[in-house]
Amino acid sequence: MLVRDAMSTMVLTIGPAHTLRQAARLMAARRIGAAVVHDPDTCGLGILTERDILNAVGSGQDPDTETASAHTTTDVVFAAPAWTLEEAAAAMTHGGFRHLIVLEDDGPVGIVSVRDIIRCWTPSPRRPAELVG
């Protein structure tokens, strides 16, 4: 199975000046765990994850004044839609992260997460009561 089969095509793109609270609200409304941060001044793409926001707030930083740019990972590993899920999982394991921005023609077309990969590798979902029984 390929990354294109597992990735979410709902890509939230924010700017570096978004506050952490703004980013968190947008991510929560879409029920996603990461946002692509596009900085037009550097022509670069980065990623801001729920864990980045959690770490900032947990260390006492103000989510209303802290900006995405201060917490964005800019040394990003990108995936291609034609990667296998094994390649994506290996990249995540090697890098110690849970999301990959999927690029095609130099632009983001999706995000694949560990959860997306697990969902593809797991047989049809069963309700928790069926798992206990």
Along the 133 residues of the chain, how does pLDDT read in single tens digits? Answer: 999 999 999 899 999 999 999 999 999 999 999 999 998 887 689 999 999 999 999 999 999 999 999 999 988 999 999 999 999 999 999 999 999 999 999 789 999 999 999 999 987 766 666 555 5
Euclidean distance between CA atoms 67 and 72, whole angstroms: 9
**Chain position carrying tokens 């000046």:** 17
Cβ pair 48, 71 in contact under 8 A: yes
Residue 123, pLDDT score: 76
Distances (CA, A) of 52 to 59, 73, 97: 11, 9, 11
Residue range 25-53, pLDDT digits in tens: 999 999 999 999 998 887 689 999 999 99
Alpha-carbon dihedral sign for residues 18, 22, 26, 32: positive
